[in-house]
Amino acid sequence: MDDRQFRNAMGKFATGVNVIATEVDGETYGMTANAFMSVSLDPKLIVISIGDKAKMLERIRESGKFSVNVLSCEQQEESMRFAGQKQFEDKFEFDELAGVPVVENAVCQLSCEVYNEHTEGDHVLFIGKVNDLAMTEADPLIFNCGKYRRLEAMEEVK
């Protein structure tokens, strides 16, 4: 099977869209990522997966901390900005949660410290211990079959 076929298959699995953010030597960096999962309740752990060519990889290793920001359906531009899909002239202002930069108005902000890392193939899985979180009531941004989408409520099954 070729890479495109594998990506097309993986793209059938609808996900939210996150911006991973971290700070190194006073500089803040963001990267769009949809590879994310809740791992453990005790302790509270999550996992993200960062490609070995992404600059974010060494940035997280240096910092030892990162945030996961689940984007709202109003934040497609933030996803494009931090995936390098669109260039913006303005400076992006981050908020802060428990000493880690976070994206304002995200549906959910998780402030994490690196708990463990595992290299698997061409990605590194970072296990994050969640030290603090914040949420809003907005609807999430959806990514499916390579396209950004919105949630649509289904009729209740009786």
Closest CB to ligand NAD: residue number: 11
* Centroid of chain to Cα 26: 21
Shortest separation between residue 42's beta carbon and ligand FAD, angstroms = 26
34 binds ligand NAD (CB under 6 A): yes
- Those residues whose C-beta lies under 8 Å from the C-beta of residue 73, and which sit 6 or more positions away, are 138, 139, 140, 141, 142, 150, 151
Residue the block writes with tokens 């963001």: 30
- CA dist., res. 72 & res. 4, Å (int): 28
User: 122-151: which residues touch ligand FAD (CB under 6 A)?
Assistant: 143
- Compose the 32-61 pattern: x for residues touching ligand FAD by CB under 6 A, - for all others: xxxx-------------xxx--xxx-----
Work out whether the CA dihedral 101, 64, 43, 39 comes out positive or negative. positive
Nearer to ligand NAD, 39 or 134 (CB): 39
Interface residues toward ligand FAD, by CB under 6 A: 17, 28-35, 49-51, 54-56, 79, 81-84, 92, 143
